[in-house]
Structure 1
Amino acid sequence: MASTKDLARRMLLLAAGDTVEAAGARFRQAAQAGTLHELLGTDFTLPGLPTSNAVQWIYGNGMVSTKDGRAIYDQLKAAPVDERCPLCGHGMVRTLDHYLPKNTFPALCVDPLNLVPACADCNHAKGDVPPTSAETTPLHPYLDHIDNDSWLDARVAESEPVWLEFYVSPPPTWDSLLIDRTRHHFELFGLAELFSVQANRTLNSIRQLLRSALAAGGESLVRAYLADEAATRLAHRPNGWEGVTYRTLSRDGAFCSGRFGL
């Protein structure tokens, strides 16, 4: 705001400071209460500023384009470990996604909690539509800490070539709302297909190794290799598709006996 040369615009932006702060507090309260879907965009406007101008001046010019603002933008984008998109757990972070759309909630356009690092595919899949119900509220990677539990699983499909089908397998401690939200998130970002494609690529890359293991030590050696790989990966990411892939294959007797293709 301080870098804005237009005095009238600068005064409007400075006057909006209290509104932005109050909007952030309301956003956090709703997130904690599980009522983000009840928030109305009309309650998150900025006084004296049309929505398009507010978003462009504060976010486009203030955060993305200025030196000080860009430093904050880049810091938020670099937060995920290994630059891994927290929405899908696979893609590389390329953008910041507005959890609640900036054009509907302009007072939140630079709120750090409303700016989620994301890969381009997830940003596109989520779009600019706010949640309309508790069940269709996407998981927030910094508010919904579901990875403390094991919830991702897969099965070996009865098909040729071998194909893994991924799905949400919630623990018994989860309530129905969290289950619905996780399944909606899984569907919204196309995670079943994404993980299956990646698992198939992994299988193709280790098929020769599995053939050698089967020839050298039979089913038990194949199973032991897969189980060790699963344990290593799941220790790092309990719900990562890589670890779940190896775990699922290690538990499938037909696969370990050579169904992966000789």
Structure 2
Amino acid sequence: MVAKIPVPEDDSIDLLKRILGERVKYKTFYTNIRNDLIAQYQLYIDSKGCPSQLSPMDLIGYCSSPGEAEKRKESLKGLYSPDKKKLPFEQLEKIRKKNGLTACPVCGEPGRPRTLDHCLPKAIFPEFAANILNLVPACDWCQGEKLADYKTAAGYRSFIHPYFDDVNRPLFSIVFLPPYTTPTISIEIKDDLPEKLQELVATHLIGVGFLERFNEIFDVSYQTIKRMALRARTHGNLTLMQSLEEAFLIASDKAVNSWDAVFYRSVLEDQELVTFLEEQYISEYP
């Protein structure tokens, strides 16, 4: 699942000032909103992007009519899609395509995340459309799952924020339910996490559709460890535990909560399952 990742190299407020200084069209609007927009960005940083402390800006105070305010809302959203020669095109491309990630930091699925997710949706918070701290590399599936969902009924974030939250530690495990020949799975959140983080992990897992998505590849992953068990019995170079530990270390190098890392860690934590794999009959076929 999610990983804490380094914040973008560019300072978000400095970049905002440069973006506003570059805009010529609707210059009066951007001049009027500049100071309050900078303050809103600072509040985003101070609150770590939590909507319980952030309210969408009322643009009518910077415009001559509700109609103009609606149009300027679209202007703010448009800052996310600048021409190649304008800010923040290069900064967004760097986060989107040169992030160096091998798993989605939002869900943990293996692969290079090549889109950007707005933690606070730009449809509701157009002022954060180009806020690079509000933009996180994500896979296409996470984009589709999250849509405009962003807060709980109590007003707090319903998703972990990869720039701000301390999540580079095991967050949950896969629970394997017998029979172990063809197990089913559920999720168990780590009980040593702070209570608030446990709640956040729970809403995050639901929000990105983790269990449904992981179920789609579970049979293939489980067949892999069955083959590991058979190799351990027939070749004897490595025990099953050694093979699992090696696979876990390789997977956790991507992210401690990447799908493969969670899977292998969960198998290692389940001694009853490991004993079954070591001692009981296993077919080499699904």
Match of 1:47 among 56, 62, 72: 62
**1:231-246 alignment to 2 at 5 Å?**
231-246=249-264
Q: CA deviation at 1:117?
A: 1.9
Q: Structure 1 pair 80/86, CA: closer, same or farther in 2 (3 Å)?
A: farther
Count of residue pairs the alignment pairs up: 254
Cα pair distance change 1:99/1:247, threshold 3 Å: closer
After superposition, the C-alpha distances for 1:106-150 in whole angstroms (9 at most, x for unaligned) are 222211111222222111211213414256531101011211x22
Decide whether the 8 Å contact of 1:86 with 1:118 is kept in 2. yes
Q: Quick one: which of 137, 141, 153 aligns to 2:162?
A: 141
Describe how 1:30-69 pairs up with structure 2 within 5 A: 30-31=47-48, 36-43=51-58, 47-48=62-63, 50=68, 52-60=70-78, 62-67=79-84, 68=86, 69=88
- 1:114 aligned to 118, 134, 153, which one? 134
Whole-angstrom distance in 2 between the partners of 1:18 and 1:135: 26
| Alignment counterpart, residue 38 of structure 2, candidates 13, 18, 21 | 21
TM-score in terms of structure 2 length: 0.74
Letter in 2 for 1:189: V
Q: 1:80 to 1:152 in 2, by over 3 A?
A: farther
Q: CA deviation at 1:42?
A: 4.6
Distance in structure 2 (CA, Å) of the matches to 1:143 and 1:136? 12
C-alpha contact 1:77 1:96 (8 A) present in aligned 2: yes
SS of the residue corresponding to residue 226 of structure 1 reads: helix
- Moved segments of 4+, more than 6 Å: none
Question: For residues 118 and 171 of structure 2, what CA distance do their matches in structure 1 show?
Answer: 26
Q: Deviations over 1:140-172 (max 9, x none)?
A: 01011211x222212222147534625243252
Query: What is residue 257 of structure 1 aligned with on the other side?
Result: 279
What is aligned with 1:86?
Answer: 105
Aligned identity (percent) is 19
2 CA distance for matches of 1:10 and 1:202? Answer: 55
- The answer to whether the aligner puts 1:128 opposite 2:148 as a matched pair is yes
- Asked if structure 2 preserves the Cα contact closer than 8 Å seen for 1:99 and 1:116, the reply is yes
Task: Say which SS state the counterpart of residue 122 (structure 1) adopts.
Answer: helix
Shift of 1:83: 5.0
Closer/same/farther in 2, CA of residues 202 and 70 from structure 1, 3 Å limit: same
Counterpart of 1:227 in structure 2 is 245
Q: Which has the higher helix share?
A: 1
Contact 1:122 1:189 in 2 (8 A): yes
Q: RMSD of the alignment, in Å? A: 3.1
Alignment of 1:193-212 (within 5 A): 193-205=212-224, 207-208=226-227, 210-212=229-231
In the alignment, structure 1 segments of 5+ residues that lack a partner are none
- 1: CA distance between counterparts of 2:239 and 2:252? 20
Q: Which range moves more in the overlay, 136-145 or 181-190?
A: 136-145
- Structure 2: gaps spanning 5 or more residues: 1-19
Q: What's the TM-score, normalizing by structure 1?
A: 0.80
Distance in 2 between the 1:139 and 1:44 partners? 28
Distance in 1 between residues matched to 2:179 and 2:157, nearest whole Å = 32
